Amino acid sequence: MADSELARLQRRYRALTEQVRDLGFIATGSVIERYTTCTATGCHCHADPPQRHGPYFQYTRKVRPTQAHLPWVSPRTVDISP
Ligand SMILES: [Zn+2]
């Protein structure tokens, strides 16, 4: 590899490293927003149009050999700060 190519790649590497650093806190997995229906007769979640319960946020990450889920939580109890 030519010195100029190596220097270019090193500059690119440093620039990307700084961008990743600026992202802040990163966690493995994903957070999905869910709306649900319940089993209560006459509940607004069964209305037309339905007004489902939620949002509830579910954090999922892969843990061998299956997915691991944290329980559904209300947005008021979610703290994703680092
Ligand atoms: Zn309901």
Distance 11 CA to ligand 1 centre (A): 56
Q: What is the pTM of this model?
A: 0.45
Q: What is the pLDDT of residues 43-72, one digit of tens each?
A: 999 999 999 999 988 888 777 766 666 666
Please write the tens of the pLDDT for every residue from 5-58.
Answer: 999 999 999 999 888 888 877 777 888 888 999 999 999 999 999 999 999 888
> Residue 37: what pLDDT?
95
| Rounded distance from Cα 40 to ligand 1 centre (Å) | 6
Q: Contacts for 60-66 with beta carbons within 8 Å, 24 or more apart?
A: 60/29, 60/30, 60/31, 60/32, 61/27, 61/28, 61/29, 61/30, 62/28, 62/29
What separation in Å is there between the alpha carbon of 37 and the centre of ligand 1?
Answer: 5
Tell whether the model's pLDDT for residue 82 goes beyond 60: no
Percentage of residues in the chain having pLDDT higher than 70: 77
User: 19 C-alpha to center of ligand 1: Å?
Assistant: 44
Boundaries of every domain in the chain = 3-69
